[in-house]
Chains A and B, each alone.
Chain A
């Protein structure tokens, strides 16, 4: 019923400027449930308020994890509220009493979506997934299946399935992270390569990585000092003069 901009503004400040001062925060239940049902960024924002209600006011939310699962779509790695969302998701998934199929579905979905993510989000989500593996060792079959079927023609995981229990995530493997081991950014590739080895016991602290921005990433790279700089050995013959230059096929220097 509210315009989108206002909706967002309200939801952003709800959890720390409105809820603590209300006599009966439970009155917000309806508002938040509706907001949570809208989808997209508004759902992400409503999550924070809902969390407080669940945590402090004994709200019982049916199919909460299913809803959370359906919130995961490619845009979560690109939106502004990424840090806030992953902070909450980390909280929600920290319980060790969650069923393995649910966590596996989350892991699989997050890594599937990571195939379109920018490097700064990848640097955050890979340790996030590692932490999930540490909390739920039953999910480790995703990275280590010593005597499974040899050759599959299809990924058993069903991306389109809304219900986490039906997604067959536990039968799958994390090929997405394996693909990311070929990522162009050296740090991402290294982070992804961690899953090849058995994980250490201690969880990674991802709070510092949540807010990582692309600019920080760039600054970090450009400030690295290096004594020797490898050079291209193929001599140039002009701006588009390399062998097999893609540019010569599509661009001219006019």
Chain B
């Protein structure tokens, strides 16, 4: 194009990789484009300004795209006709008359003339008979020649055929061919007709016969070769693969130990409060080269293998086996029993024998565990004894279980409300209750139906509530609770989250009750036995050594509140407080965490066993007071009672009923409490000896023990307790090493080297998050659009102003022209008039 119309943006530097967009512009072209566009839009608007009449298109279906153009035309035509129908032209007289020619309508004739009947046969169209052709072509001499040729037949054979003959032959041939074709078509038609008829006949026959024939086919199909069948069956059958060989007891024990070790390592990690994720980060997992990174891990074959156990086919889930603990084994056995039970009575005995065998196995297992884990603790014997006792008990219980099993139905639905649950269990023996619970769990195993999980989750809450209710009875059924803990544990293992939720719910209730009591009365009392049982159950269900645990940590806080807030006014309070002390010790037995409240409380308990005295070298803290009315609560001064005392285990039920006891019994309980207190102090001392300020912690207790306690009055057994405690306290070495802070990583000095940043794309600003970048982009875009809009508006205004100026100039020019015209005409008029005047004067 014209180089003078091109505007070039000169570039100073040529930068590699930069796209140049606006280096060449055509201002003339773009301006004319813009003007054109404005004349089409803005000018129209301007002209129609202050004009309200609108052009309406009333043509039929003009904007309807659904109607095809032909239809549209037809409709329009009919509409037009309809419009004209009513108001006939009065001057048109012969509207209905038809023009005819020889009695035929001219219009029809016109129509028929042009129509070519395409359907008519070729025969007629091609009916150019020989005569006809002869008559038409060849000047009409054909007929003559034919006559001649027929006259001279012999000659004609010899002569080469003339043109006429050739033509004739051609015609004849074509005729023949046509004939043949027609006959063929006719025969084909005939044949199809015949076929149709035949088919109809056959069809009637077929309708009757087909079912039979088909059946036959089927029979043939369903009767495969017997050999094939066997082959296929074998293919699908569970293959008797070589299962893992039966493990020896040593191996089993080893496996169990490895599992326990892993769990223990886990527990230790949680105890130290190390985050699992952090550790995982530190040690990136090995990733195989074939890993698809889709999270799929083929860890074990899901197919079940045919394996044998105790001479029976083992069809139980392997997972249960892996569980490996007493309960699951037992359950398994029981499950098998149940299956077999109603088949034969004789098998039951053998199953029972099996069970006993398993029991023995398990105990030996446990014992080995005990040996391996408790080496050197010294109190192995009582445990073993208790184990033996337990096994004896177990056998008895098993017998009872057998009896109970036979009386109960086999399936239970999960009760929907607590009331239903309670009614299901009340009035049954312990064994029956256990079996009911077990069967509920089995019948509603989460793998069996979709809703079962939620149902069983509820069951945990019900069971917990039931236990609480049992504990609040006048005669708490602690034996039942003792047994009910087992199903509770199993449920908890199945649904940890919901179990922890319901446990937390119970805790929250208890804590809020206490809070309210403090607000209303100003002081709190110890909660009932049910809460104590709940606290104990918490320690059974959850690991108490974790640095932080969703259930255990709040429990700690709650128990600490109990020990610091609740008033000690009765002997029951003392027992409850000591129970909580035991709980605290049990909670921290593995983690060896420091519980100040525990030491305070033990000090307070020891303090209330003293006769009133003024001189003290120690201070007791809340809830105990150095002076007040509840002192000497544990003081026993009766010589006889002192002598007759034997260390006894405190029955938990005294928490609820203490009134019907005699004074001697009360005194004995007091002394037992004191002994318990000594023992707990000793355990505390053993637990906290590693703490750097152990002596400061135990200082008040030691002063109290050495200076204030009337040891000489105590019976011998008590003195033993006392002495062992004191020994535990005193024979700890004192050594203090000054504290040194951990070395901090030195902070690097600030440096002045330039900061180097990667530039991934030119023109894009770096920094900021994705959101911030997006915001910046939008702001930028808005700014540009805004500028563009302003420019456009400005140009619009210029365009309009130009237009208006043009209009005004035009108007002015027209006016000037008119004025000139008028003046001109006037001048001529004047001139003429003057000329006339002059003429007259001359004349």
Contacts and interface: CB of A to CB of B under 8 A. Distances in A.
Interface stretch (B24-32, B56-64, B583-591): B583-591
B451 interface: no
Interface in B259-281: 260, 263, 266-267, 270, 273
B741 A175 contact: no
B553 A250 contact: no
A229 B537 CA distance: 16
Interface in B581-632: 582, 585-589, 591-597, 599-600, 619, 621-622
B497 interface: yes
Contacts of A240: 482, 536
A183 B599 CA distance: 13
Contacts of B565: 214
Interface string B326-354: 11000000000000000000000000000
Contact of B739 (A73, A149, A175, A245): A175
Interface string A175-208: 1101110111110010000001110000000000
Contacts of B597: 118
Given A229-B551, A235-B326, A251-B579, A151 B737 contact: yes
Contact of B582 (A74, A142, A179, A246): A246
Interface in B680-703: 680, 683, 691-697
A236 B489 contact: yes
Interface in A216-243: 217-218, 221-222, 224-233, 235-243
Given A116-B596, A214-B561, A248-B386, A144 B587 contact: no
A232 B478 contact: no
Contacts, number: 252
Interface in A95-111: none
A179 B588 CA distance: 15
A143 interface: yes
A12 to B, nearest CB: 16
Which of A154, A247, A250, A254 has the most CB atoms of chain B within a 10 A radius of its CB? A250
B379 interface: yes
B548 interface: yes
B741 A151 contact: no
A176 B651 contact: no
A153 interface: yes
Chain B binding site: helix, strand, loop or mixed by DSSP? helix
Interface string A107-129: 00000100111110000000000
Given A152-B737, A229-B542, A254-B651, A115 B564 contact: no
Contacts of B591: 184
Nearest to A222: B554
Contact of B543 (A117, A149, A232, A236): A232
B464 to A, nearest CB: 14
A212 to B, nearest CB: 12
Q: 9 shortest A-B CB distances, which residue pairs?
A: A254-B651, A175-B692, A145-B738, A78-B622, A184-B593, A253-B478, A148-B738, A229-B496, A152-B736
Interface of A: 73-75, 77-79, 112, 115-119, 142-146, 148-155, 173-176, 178-180, 182-186, 189, 196-198, 214-215, 217-218, 221-222, 224-233, 235-254
28 contacts: A73-B619, A74-B619, A119-B557, A145-B738, A175-B693, A175-B696, A175-B736, A179-B691, A182-B593, A186-B547, A186-B548, A189-B593, A196-B742, A197-B741, A214-B560, A214-B564, A214-B565, A217-B557, A229-B542, A230-B549, A231-B492, A232-B539, A233-B267, A238-B486, A244-B374, A244-B377, A246-B586, A253-B652
Given A228-B497, A243-B373, A253-B652, 10 more contacts: A116-B599, A118-B596, A175-B696, A178-B692, A197-B744, A229-B551, A235-B325, A236-B540, A245-B586, A251-B652
